[in-house]
Structure 1
């Protein structure tokens, strides 16, 4: 299973959990939390959207901490993901020349 498929499955699980108010078992929540922490990558905007949604809706603490640390480390593009530059809109690495 590739990363994109995995994230879509988790997003669907998150949607269902929110709609049914069912809670994940602690062990399952922990496993999802650790796995998403490892998948965090600021170079994929689609991945960022999906992961942030899952983290917020499932309350995943470790992944939240990883995301917060990556922002502090300035591990994000200079445009801060606003997609205002041509490179960021095209999913390429940020080039300050395009601002």
Structure 2
């Protein structure tokens, strides 16, 4: 699967189209565990960004699958991956992944760059992580 094809999608897609893309991508992700987590996170980010533009919440079953995947590949030693995953948490309202991010702050050996990203995200989302649109109301 070409994970870069999601970059070329229009900025605005219908919820139905997005659900189909998410489902296809998640099927690939779940079947290809060994493929690059960074590439998969970038593809998910492209879809999440377009999902956010719909001003509708992601279908719960898709959200749960993404939340589980984010937790399964969480790696505080990879700044770019963490940056992508934190974006997914914010754009899709991933509560379980948010708790993983928050818990990671207890690690005393965090790279300063990663710590700053985690702290900023936790501060921004604390209390409203489940509602990506809370700042727009």
Structure 2 length normalisation: TM-score? Answer: 0.53
* 1:3-82 pair list within 5 angstroms: 3-74=37-108, 76-77=110-111, 80-81=112-113
**Over residues 32-79 of structure 1, what are the superposed CA-to-partner deviations in whole Å (9 max), with x where a residue is unaligned?**
0011011111111101111111101111000010111111243523xx
49-58 vs 14-23, which deviates more? 14-23
User: What's the C-alpha RMSD, in Å, of the aligned pairs?
Assistant: 1.6
Deviation at 1:22, TM superposition (A): 3.6
- Report the number of matched residues: 80
Structure 2: distance between partners of 1:40 and 1:16: 23
Instruction: Give the 3-state SS of the residue equivalent to 1:23 in structure 2.
Output: coil
Structure 1: distance between partners of 2:84 and 2:97: 13
In the superposition, relative to structure 1, how do residues 22 and 75 fare at CA in structure 2: closer, same or farther (>3 Å)?
farther
Structure 1 length normalisation: TM-score? Answer: 0.72
Deviation at 1:21, TM superposition (A): 2.2
Structure 2: distance between partners of 1:44 and 1:17: 25
Gaps of 5+ in 1: 83-99
